Amino acid sequence: MGLIKEIDYGTPQAKSEKQVTLTIDGFAVTVPEGTSVMRAAMEAGIKVPKLCATDMVDAFGSCRLCLIEIEGRNGTPSSCTTPVAEGLVVRTQTERLKTLRKGVMELYISDHPLDCLTCAANGDCELQDMAGAVGLRDVRYGYEGDNHVSAKSRDGGNDNFRWMPKDESNPYFTYDPSKCIVCSRCVRACEEVQGTFALTIEGRGFDSRVSPGMHEDFLSSDCVSCGACVQACPTATLTEKSVIEIGQPEHSVVTTCAYCGVGCSFKAEMRGDELVRMVPWKDGKANRGHSCVKGRFAWGYATHQDRILNPMIREKISDPWREVTWDEAFAHVASEFKRIQSQYGRGSVGGITSSRCTNEETYLVQKLVRQGFGNNNVDTCARVCHSPTGYGLGQTFGTSAGTQDFDSVEHTDVAIVIGANPAAGHPVFASRLKKRLRQGAKLIVIDPRRTETVRAPHVEAAYHLALQPGTNVAVITSLAHVIVTEGLFDEAFIREKCDWSEFEDYAQFVADPSHSPEATEAYTGVPADALRGAARLYARGVNGSIYYGLGVTEHSQGSTTVMAIANLAMLTGNIGRPGVGVNPLRGQNNVQGSCDMGSFPHELPGYRHISGDAARETFEMLWGVKLDHEPGLRIPNMLDAAVQGSFKGIYIQGEDILQSDPDTKHVSAGLAAMECVVVQDLFLNETANYAHVFLPGSTFLEKDGTFTNAERRINRVRKVMAPRNGYADWEVTQGIAQAMEIDWNYTHPSQIMDEIAATTPSFARVSYALLEELGSVQWPCNEQAPNGTPVMHVDGFVRGKGKFIRTEYIPTDEKTGPRFPLLLTTGRILSQYNVGAQTRRTENVVWHAEDVLEIHPHDAEQRGIREGDWVRLASRAGETALRATITDRVAPGVVYTTFHHPETQANVITTDYSDWATNCPEYKVTAVQVSPSNGPSDWQVEYDALSRRSRRIVPRDAAE
Amino acid sequence: MSHEEAGASSPHAKIVRMANQIGAFFRSKPHDEGVAGVAEHINKFWEPRMRRQLFEVVDSGGTGLAPLVLEASSVIRRPTAEQERTPPA
């Protein structure tokens, strides 16, 4: 185990299919046309000295170190900017080149501090490496002249006006201008890789400096702290604070980020079992070497003092917690669940799998419920996010997942983003999308709010359809109306891949004048001409793709909207090749995987309905029990049943339903009505306020397993440190099973994956050995697709013929009125993740310390609300208070907030209305009133007191 | 505690609401397909307890239920009491 050193080829890979052969230092090299001489040399194993070139950004040619000589050409061109050509004869090392390079390095070093021994980049400094590479032995110019190095002039103590102090404003990295060589790699990384354009070079010549924004500090600039600049920096100018504190890492392990559904691959760079830094892995197929602030920097929660490391029990939720041994905890859970089932029936208990845990762990939780509890009362957080995706795409296409890989975006010509704000929720995908948009692809955004995705530097949506919350189905059906009535549909595709008579029925339905944009404008608020323009743009684009998020699913018609989206893609033939498709942006790291693993109460792993005898028998044979053929309770149904008295015990792994689920008061009433609530988590989360047993969880750094991202990509999670709580999460579930006298004896998660592969046709060929070999794989991965499936439905749909389904718009019952005249919609912010349990325990709070309410200036003025005022936010479900910010990002009549902080509890406001098909809650539409307030509501004060009371712990020693 | 004690008006109201939502989606289908669609959806996704509550409404006259749901109820699987009460094997 050593440090994984990825080869830096200097310039990006050329994608041409034409090969070119040239000679470098006497060796013949064959590379794709468009490759730089520098990269071709590196492919041949010859490392041309370089400073301003790195393969994450385009060639720039400024450092003049990578000079070469080419036979028959004048001068000494830079190898990074010189493309290869057939028959070129290149020399990288001649007397002339050696002299020139030494001269260049001499100048660089004459304006650079010589504190190498105490420098944070010591051991990882390209400037130092290059000084060595060119054989620099002397700096003839001395160090006394003009410089950027020292605060005072060398002679007398006058201030050196060229010197700039270190900028330590960013919590994760420092900017030390005295060490900067102005190679502009950071500036280019910010532009080309991240797409934020927060950095620039100010001044000219010797005055040139890297500057965040208009000579601001990093924190007050537009910087989103993705860290691409830090990764690009060849010196200690931009350095992770963790490296400054700890020192250079000595070994690294490739693993997968545990934040959003993009599923970025990282190298966890370690010193012993201390994590030094996370560096995105270039070969990671989801992220291609990029990251966001959460994945790269926000891992401090893993060692946060709030982590609970010992199991705990209490009789009543009003008691303080009592620390116990693991064995006591397992025995207690087993006996309680047995008692409850014998008293109240087999269906009186259930479990919730975690979309933050691994596939293997979610598989075990559903197995415990089905095999051990003998019912199907298992659900997962996808219930409240993408369950309509599963249902809608299952009905239309035949699979419950996105159709593409993320690389597909590089081939798209028109992207529609619906009800998603990738810049905040899926930042690495957003960067990849923006890169494509800067190359000329067009963007259509359908969102009530003017999100960061609508307009960013050098990117602007061709159309932003700012619809009224809750009118998705009307808008998308209207898009289909335009495509059908204007004859823009792809008849050949539909005839070949879909059921033609179903299409005819659907076409007749959408062609009705009631679905025309002119008719829907009245209630959607989307101008008819903009909607027609957007429909034409999407239908006429060569490759049209649709990306969508929870703004689609979290509605009473969420499933209908997903079907409408699928209809749109089939209508225009945008399925089955790179650059197109229907792409749900999944929220949590493993929400796709948890769905795949049979976490829903109606289906077994691989989306096989529980009523199917064949699928049930597969598991019955293996597990040696009879499985219940009836669907189980979904999370909201469990809570209803609890309030009604027939559901009494629940095992919740890594999920904070009290904070994340709607209508908090209903959730707490349900939890309070249960006799045994078991919570397994890193922290005493909000749900744990109502728990009787707390089982400490482990982080993604502490266990082996796999996550499946939004592209259906199964990525390895690798253990880099021992679980601080003693057990990985899969071992905890196994502990409960064993205490219930179920015969489980897994010794490694790979054995669980083997069981999944043996029972689930779409995973048939998946194994840890295959993942080791291929890096990652996208399901289906079986005999038909031995290396996985990057793009689905290539030769026809999984269900056979694509199915067009009528999508009638039915307005939600959640309506504004005199008492609640505004519509509240919710979302997320870049720096925080989900309920914030992890990110609130990191320095990310500097960007977002509390949830705020966005309100339009018109609505604010009517109510006498000023910027930063406390406001009371009330719906028919409840009320809370938070601070307001006044912005025209939201339309008049619409207010918006995030749900990252338990102090705000935005879900006290949201109602129990839900999607007709899946009971996915209608988070995105709540009728509310906003009024001035003095501070937190009574409910918030009481809840805060309850939280404090329910977090009292009596240590084991004290109890004895 | 028996289920009946808890089964006041509010759970039934919620069940009626959810059933009618499903009915509303299938309303735009041809009639027979709509009836079959409602029944299939409820059979596939509703746990027996929820179906039992639905039948409590149906059996007491079906107040509040959309006609399509009422019609579909003849094809919806009626849960048996044992299904819910059997202790684990």
- The answer, yes or no, to whether residue A361 has pLDDT greater than 60, is yes
Quickly state the pLDDT bin for A383 (edges 50, 70, 90). Answer: confident
Q: What is the mean pLDDT of chain A?
A: 94
Least confident residue range of A488-492, A586-590, A651-655: A586-590
Q: Give pLDDT, residue A960.
A: 45
Closest CA–CA distance from residue A640 to any residue of chain B (Å) = 8
Reported as a single tens digit per residue, the pLDDT across A858-916 is: 999 999 999 999 999 999 988 999 999 999 999 999 999 998 888 888 888 888 899 99
A388 CB neighbours in chain B (<8 A) are none
Q: How far apart are CA A619 and CA A430, in angstroms?
A: 40
Reported as a single tens digit per residue, the pLDDT across A204-219 is: 999 999 999 999 999 9
B89 and A374 within 8 Å at the Cβ level: the answer is: yes
B5 CB neighbours in chain A (<8 A) are 645
Q: Give pLDDT, residue A617.
A: 95
Reported as a single tens digit per residue, the pLDDT across A121-130 is: 999 999 999 9
Q: How far apart are CA B51 and CA B70, in angstroms?
A: 13
Closest CA–CA distance from residue A303 to any residue of chain B (Å) = 40
Domain segments of chain B: what residues? 3-75
Beta bridge partners of A30: A21
B49 and A641 within 8 Å at the Cβ level: the answer is: yes
Q: How far apart are CA A20 and CA A35, in angstroms?
A: 9
Closest CA–CA distance from residue A567 to any residue of chain B (Å) = 16
B21 CB neighbours in chain A (<8 A) are 556, 916
- The answer, yes or no, to whether residue A324 has pLDDT greater than 80, is yes
- The distance from CA A190 to its chain's CA centroid, rounded to whole angstroms, is 19
Quickly state the pLDDT bin for A339 (edges 50, 70, 90). Answer: very high
A916 and B21 within 8 Å at the Cβ level: the answer is: yes
Closest CA–CA distance from residue B30 to any residue of chain A (Å) = 10
Judged by a CB distance cut-off of 8 A, whether residue B25 touches chain A is: yes
Q: Give pLDDT, residue B3.
A: 35
How many other C-beta atoms are found inside a 10 Å radius of the C-beta of residue A194?
A: 26
Q: How far apart are CA A686 and CA A173, in angstroms?
A: 32
Q: What is the interface size between A and B, counted as CB pairs within 8 Å?
A: 91
Least confident residue range of A142-151, A353-362, B58-67: A142-151
Closest CA–CA distance from residue A820 to any residue of chain B (Å) = 21
Q: How far apart are CA A648 and CA A643, in angstroms?
A: 9
Q: Provide the token pair at A387.
A: 């369950």
- The answer, yes or no, to whether residue A374 has pLDDT greater than 90, is yes
B18 and A373 within 8 Å at the Cβ level: the answer is: no
Judged by a CB distance cut-off of 8 A, whether residue B5 touches chain A is: yes
Least confident residue range of A381-390, A407-416, A489-498, A690-699: A381-390
Which stretches of chain A sit within 8 Å of chain B by CB? 341-342, 344-347, 373-374, 376-377, 509, 556, 559-560, 601-602, 609, 611, 625-626, 630-634, 637, 640-641, 643-646, 806, 808, 810, 912, 914, 916-919
Q: Provide the token pair at A186.
A: 């950071």
At residue A415, φ and ψ (nearest 5 deg) are -110, 130
What percent helix, strand, coil does chain A show, rounded to 5? 35, 20, 50
Reported ipTM: the value is 0.89
Q: How far apart are CA A691 and CA A184, in angstroms?
A: 53
B66 CB neighbours in chain A (<8 A) are none
A917 CB neighbours in chain B (<8 A) are 22, 25, 41, 45
Closest CA in chain A for residue B23 = A916
Quickly state the pLDDT bin for A958 (edges 50, 70, 90). Answer: low
A601 CB neighbours in chain B (<8 A) are 47
Query: Under 8 Å CB-to-CB from A3, ≥6 apart: which residues?
Result: A249, A250, A251, A252, A269
Q: How far apart are CA A905 and CA A876, in angstroms?
A: 15
Report, as an integer, the average pLDDT of A193-209. Answer: 95
Beta bridge partners of A378: A351
- In chain A, what percentage of residues exceed pLDDT 90? 89
SS (H, E, C) A194-262: HCCCCEEEECCHHHCEEEECCCCCCCCCCCCCCCHHHHHCCCCCEEEHHHHHHCCCCEEEEEECCCECC
Domain segments of chain A: what residues? 19-133, 312-385+590-778, 403-583, 822-949
Q: Give pLDDT, residue A296.
A: 97
From A905, A906, A845, A834, select the one nearest A681 (Cα to Cα): A834
**Helices A635-644 & A664-672, crossing angle to 10 degrees?**
60
B contact test, residue of A337, A640, A742, A912 with most B CBs within 10 A: A640
- In chain A, what percentage of residues exceed pLDDT 70? 99
Q: Give pLDDT, residue B4.
A: 34
**Helices A635-644 & B48-59, crossing angle to 10 degrees?**
60
SS (H, E, C) A121-183: CCCCCHHHHHHHHCCCCCCCCCCCCCCCCCCECCCCCCECCCCCCCECCCCCEEECHHHCCCC
Query: Under 8 Å CB-to-CB from B31, ≥6 apart: which residues?
Result: none
Contact A906, A880 (CB under 8 A): yes
Closest CA–CA distance from residue A766 to any residue of chain B (Å) = 29
Judged by a CB distance cut-off of 8 A, whether residue B12 touches chain A is: no
Report, as an integer, the average pLDDT of B15-20. Answer: 95
Residues in chain A: 960
CA trace torsion B10, B11, B16, B19 (10° rounding): 150
- The answer, yes or no, to whether residue B8 has pLDDT greater than 80, is no
Beta bridge partners of A173: A240
Reported as a single tens digit per residue, the pLDDT across A438-461 is: 999 999 999 999 999 999 999 999
B14 CB neighbours in chain A (<8 A) are 640, 912
Q: How far apart are CA A608 and CA A619, in angstroms?
A: 12
- The distance from CA A133 to its chain's CA centroid, rounded to whole angstroms, is 40
- Cα–Cα distances (Å) from A626 to A83, A172, A368, A931, B89, in that order, read 67, 53, 13, 56, 8
Reported as a single tens digit per residue, the pLDDT across A708-750 is: 999 999 999 999 999 999 999 999 999 999 999 999 999 999 9
Reported as a single tens digit per residue, the pLDDT across A461-514 is: 999 999 999 999 999 999 999 999 999 999 999 999 999 999 999 999 999 999
Q: How far apart are CA B44 and CA B29, in angstroms?
A: 19
Judged by a CB distance cut-off of 8 A, whether residue B9 touches chain A is: no
Query: Under 8 Å CB-to-CB from A495, ≥6 apart: which residues?
Result: none
Query: Under 8 Å CB-to-CB from A356, ≥6 apart: which residues?
Result: A258, A588, A589, A590, A654, A655
Q: Provide the token pair at A196.
A: 């934020």
Report helix, strand or coil for A110.
helix
From A172, A301, A188, select the one nearest A241 (Cα to Cα): A172
Reported as a single tens digit per residue, the pLDDT across A661-706 is: 888 888 999 999 999 999 999 999 999 999 999 999 999 999 999 9
Q: Does A19-133 carry CATH code 3.10.20.740?
A: yes
Q: How far apart are CA A261 and CA A814, in angstroms?
A: 30
Comparing CB atoms, the residue among B29, B43, B89 nearest residue A625 is B89
Q: Give pLDDT, residue A399.
A: 87
Q: Provide the token pair at A381.
A: 């957080």
Q: How far apart are CA A789 and CA A802, in angstroms?
A: 18
Reported as a single tens digit per residue, the pLDDT across A235-291 is: 999 999 999 999 999 999 999 999 999 999 999 999 999 999 999 999 999 999 999
Q: Give pLDDT, residue A142.
A: 87
- The answer, yes or no, to whether residue A384 has pLDDT greater than 90, is no
Q: Provide the token pair at A84.
A: 């290869």
Q: Provide the token pair at A143.
A: 């160090």
Q: What is the third-level CATH fold of A403-583?
A: Dimethylsulfoxide Reductase; domain 2 (3.40.228)
A917 and B44 within 8 Å at the Cβ level: the answer is: no
A341 CB neighbours in chain B (<8 A) are 87-88
SS (H, E, C) A13-77: CCCCCCEEEEEECCEEEEEECCCEHHHHHHHCCCCCCCCCCCCCCCCCCCCCCCECEECCCCCCC
Comparing CB atoms, the residue among A347, A373, A640 nearest residue B14 is A640
Q: What is the DSSP letter of A602?
A: T
Closest CA–CA distance from residue B29 to any residue of chain A (Å) = 7
From A723, A840, A830, A728, select the one nearest A306 (Cα to Cα): A840
Q: Provide the token pair at A169.
A: 């404003």
Residue A767, classified by CB atoms within 10 Å of its CB into exposed (0-12), middle (13-18) or buried (19+), is middle
Closest CA–CA distance from residue A845 to any residue of chain B (Å) = 39
What percent helix, strand, coil does chain B show, rounded to 5? 65, 0, 35
Q: What is the third-level CATH fold of A822-949?
A: Barwin-like endoglucanases (2.40.40)
Report, as an integer, the average pLDDT of A360-365. Answer: 97
Closest CA–CA distance from residue A514 to any residue of chain B (Å) = 14
Report, as an integer, the average pLDDT of A645-669. Answer: 92
Quickly state the pLDDT bin for B84 (edges 50, 70, 90). Answer: low
Quickly state the pLDDT bin for A939 (edges 50, 70, 90). Answer: confident
Strand ranges (E), A737-849:
776-778, 822-827
- In chain B, what percentage of residues exceed pLDDT 70? 80
Contact A257, A266 (CB under 8 A): yes
How many other C-beta atoms are found inside a 10 Å radius of the C-beta of residue B85?
A: 14
Query: Under 8 Å CB-to-CB from A124, ≥6 apart: which residues?
Result: A243, A248
- The distance from CA A181 to its chain's CA centroid, rounded to whole angstroms, is 34
Reported as a single tens digit per residue, the pLDDT across A171-187 is: 999 999 999 999 999 99
Closest CA in chain B for residue A372 = B88
CATH code for the part of the protein at A312-385+590-778: 3.40.50.740
Quickly state the pLDDT bin for A959 (edges 50, 70, 90). Answer: very low
- The answer, yes or no, to whether residue A156 has pLDDT greater than 90, is no
Reported as a single tens digit per residue, the pLDDT across A801-855 is: 999 999 999 999 999 999 999 999 988 888 888 888 899 999 999 998 889 999 9
